[in-house]
A and B are shown apart, each in its own frame.
Chain A
Amino acid sequence: MIESIPTVLVVDDSPTVRKIVQMTLQRERIRVITASDGLSALTSVADEMPSLILLDIQLPRMDGYTICQIVRKNLQFRAIPIIMLSGKDGLFDKMRGRLAGSTEYLTKPFDSAELVQTVKKHLAGWEQRMPPQYEGMRTRLRRRG
């Protein structure tokens, strides 16, 4: 049986958060790639075409809002769901996230079960969102179940 698995890009400057999200999502049979700053996050988006991005707001070199805006302006990547992950729980920050184009906003400290639930919700139909030019990559990501 051939089964394809989704890829989630986790962008956070904290190694703890990156490892926790990686461990939690891998348990749910989700492939996880990570980036610790804004610029490496954009490189990963272009190289890997993730099915979903979990994005922290405060990042070195480029903040989460800017990354979100760049992704949304790109025709190839604009359909990728972006979940903002931040310690800021004020209405203003949430609004700013929405304006930048985020799909949802998770406030730190998040519950790992809530994280899984939110990620799964936005991963529904991820295969359809992948542009045709990434077909080769999709095949690469497939693995034997």
Chain B
Amino acid sequence: MESQDLIMDGDLQTLGLQSILKMLALSGKTGTLFIHSGRETLSISLRKGQIIALREEVVNQPDLLTMLCLMNRLDAQQAQSVRDAAQGNMQVALPILVDQNWMSRAEMQQRLEFAITQSISHALRWVNGRFSFHRRVIAMEGKMQPLDVDSVLLESLRQADEWEEMGEISLTRATMARWLPEVSNDVRSLGLSQDHIDVLCLANGEVPLQAMALALMIPEARVARILARLLELRLVEVVDTALEAELQQDLTNIIIMSQHTLARQRQNLAPDEHLLGLIKTLSQCINGLLIHHGSYAKSLRGRGQVPISDIVSYLERRFAGSLQFMAKQQFPILETASFTGGQLDCSELFNLDRLVRGEQLEEFYWEAVRGLAVFLRTVFTTLLNDEVGNSYTGRQLNIVWKAFLTEIDQEIQQYQIYRAHQHAQHARSRFNDSAYQNDTDWKSAAQNEGTHLWSSEWQRRSI
């Protein structure tokens, strides 16, 4: 859209979508309103203050024709002929269905109205983002009766409220569900309503929640509630293929990076350098996972561009408690690590060599390594359960994760062997000293009492 067409623009925090639409309707404007939030974009065409068309940029455009086939409203041949003629444009496909007498004109109008209400309802939940209103109306072929902004807004707000009322829910409009292969009993015995059965029929693992809502003309929030019930009944499982592929790629890249850092630090020959290298690897991996979770956590999804402060407070709420608990219960050294800006700040641990040296330093490093290794496991388990649960992707990622943990454990074990060896040498030299130098041993034993805290403690913990 050319800049000379621009009438006004701004951000959604200053002026919300509801106010913008009302204002444009009241002043009877003609043009196109664009709303962007994160990766999502919506364009609403208005003529004399009434909605004449809407376009939503969705990665996987729901194919109504396929869904009508699934609902036995069309056969595959009919659907293909319409698809060929409409070339993927739903605004064109619907009038063709009407011309062919496969759909009534009233249903077409109802479907178009419903689709617009759904999209606006979704956009009303965007917190951050920008809007711009342009003079030119984007040409969209459609045979829809213009819609009154007030009535569309009223219904959209009602539907947006329905989403909000559901509270923290793991389902989004992109969620896909599929029948669980284990389902063998007769679903009729479960006393499901017609809506539940309709949703169940579309749960083939390829139809997103948004498309189900469009096909059945049931508001998205209600479809989400039905799906949640079907999940409870263990009739379906959730699949969000695109999101799962994306998050799988992101997570594998973090693991590849961490494995690479781990392999590089193996070159450190001195034990304290080796331990510090492990601390750096573990903290880097934890922070990578935290950044990842800030983008893919279920409760942060479907809200457009989420403010950084919300992500930070979410991450801290989720993980800071377990870090503090571990510091209190098992690994006091972790008290030096803190959450800053949604990241684990280990700078005090990295600079520990400025405060202590020798055996004591090694001792602190060793405790930090074990503590961070436990915390890393906690972070990953929490993250994976939240993001993908026990899905196919979740299981695959778990296999990779276990392989990575094996490598970390090997590094830790290597150091344990070194410590055991050192410990044995100390014991042997003490024994030799006691046989021949009884006087000095008493002194050294007294001196060493404080510094050799780790040996019995370490043995207990390693068991």
Q: Which A residues have a C-beta under 8 Å from some C-beta of B?
A: 14-20, 23-24, 27, 87, 108-113
11 contacts between A and B (CB under 8 A): A15-B403, A16-B406, A16-B407, A19-B399, A20-B252, A20-B403, A23-B396, A24-B252, A87-B263, A108-B260, A109-B259
Determine whether the beta carbon of A109 is less than 8 Å from that of B260.
yes
Task: Give bound CA distance, A27 to B246, whole Å.
Answer: 12
Chain B neighbourhood of A108, CB < 8 A: 256, 260, 263
CA distance A113 to B252 in the complex (A): 10
The answer to whether B361 has its CB under 8 Å from any CB of chain A is: no
Interface hub of A17, A24, A108 (most chain B Cβ within 10 A)? A17
User: Are B403 and A16 closer than 8 Å at their CB atoms?
Assistant: yes
Instruction: For B253, list chain A residues within 8 Å (CB).
Output: 109, 111-112
Q: Is B264 an interface residue (CB 8 A)?
A: yes
* Nearest opposing residue in chain B for A17, CB measure: B259
Q: Which A residues touch B404, using CB under 8 A? A: 16
Residue B97 CB within 8 A of the other chain: no
Query: Is B400 on the interface with A (CB-CB < 8 A)?
Result: yes
Question: How far in angstroms is the closest Cβ of chain B from A110?
Answer: 6
Taking CB atoms, residues of chain A closer than 8 Å to B399 are 19, 23
Chain A hits for B257, CB < 8 A: 109
Task: Kindly provide the distance from the CB of B142 to the nearest chain A CB, expressed in whole angstroms.
Answer: 38
Q: How far is the CB of B387 from chain A (nearest CB, A)?
A: 16
Among B256, B260, B399, max chain A CB count under 10 A is at: B256
Contacts of B400 in A (CB 8 A): 16, 19-20, 23
Does any Cβ of A come within 8 Å of B434's Cβ? no
**In the complex, what residue of chain B is closest to A114 when comparing beta carbons?**
B253
**Is B249's CB under 8 angstroms from A15's CB?**
no
* Complex: A18 Cα to B402 Cα, angstroms: 12
Assess whether B23 is interfacial by the CB under 8 Å rule: no
* Chain A residues, Cβ within 8 Å of B396: 23
Report A-chain residues with C-beta under 8 Å of the C-beta of B406.
Answer: 15-16
Q: Contacts of B259 on A, CB cut-off 8 Å? A: 14, 16-17, 109
Contact B403 A27 (CB under 8 A): no
Least CB distance from B241 to A in Å reads 11
Interface contact A112-B252, CB-CB below 8 Å: yes
- Say whether B137 faces chain A, with CB atoms less than 8 Å apart: no
Decide yes or no: A20 and B260 within 8 Å by CB, A14-B407, A113-B249 being known contacts. no
**Closest 7 pairs (CB-CB, A-B):** A109-B260, A15-B403, A16-B404, A19-B403, A16-B259, A109-B257, A16-B403
Known pairs A23-B252, A23-B399; A87 contacts B260 (CB<8 A): yes
Pair B255/A20 contact, Cβ less than 8 Å: yes
Q: Check B252 against A27 for contact (C-beta < 8 Å).
A: no
**What 1/0 flags go to B256-273 for Cβ under 8 Å of A?**
110110011000000000
Across the interface, which residues of B come within 8 angstroms of A87, CB to CB? 260, 263-264
B424 at the interface (CB under 8 A from A): no
* Nearest residue, chain A, Cβ from B257: A109
Question: Which residue of the partner chain, among B248, B260, B407, contacts A15 with CB atoms under 8 Å?
Answer: B407
What's the minimum C-beta distance from B393 to chain A, rounded to whole angstroms?
9
Partner of B263, one of A14, A18, A23: A14
Across-interface contacts of B403 in A (CB, < 8 A): 15-16, 18-20
What chain A residues lie within 8 Å of B453 (beta carbons)? none
Closest chain B CB from A108 CB (angstroms):
5
Question: Is B26 an interface position by the 8 A CB rule?
Answer: no
B245 within 8 A of partner (CB): yes
Take A15-B407, A20-B255 as given contacts and tell me if A112 and B249 are in contact as well, using a CB distance cutoff of 8 Å. yes
Q: A16 to chain B: which residues have CB within 8 Å? A: 255-256, 259, 400, 403-404, 406-407
Instruction: Decide: B256 and A110 in contact? CB cutoff 8 A.
Output: yes
Within the complex, the shortest CB–CB distance from A145 to chain B, in Å, comes to: 17
> B397: nearest residue on chain A (CB-CB)?
A23
- The smallest C-beta distance from B267 to any residue of chain A, in angstroms, reads 10
Least Cβ–Cβ distance between B376 and chain A, in angstroms: 14
Q: How far is the CA of A69 from the CA of B118 in the complex (A)?
A: 61
| Cα-based distance from A113 to B404 in the complex (angstroms) | 20
CB distance from A30 to the nearest CB of B (A): 15
A18–B400 CA distance with the chains assembled, in angstroms: 9
Which B residues are CB-close (under 8 A) to A111? 253, 256
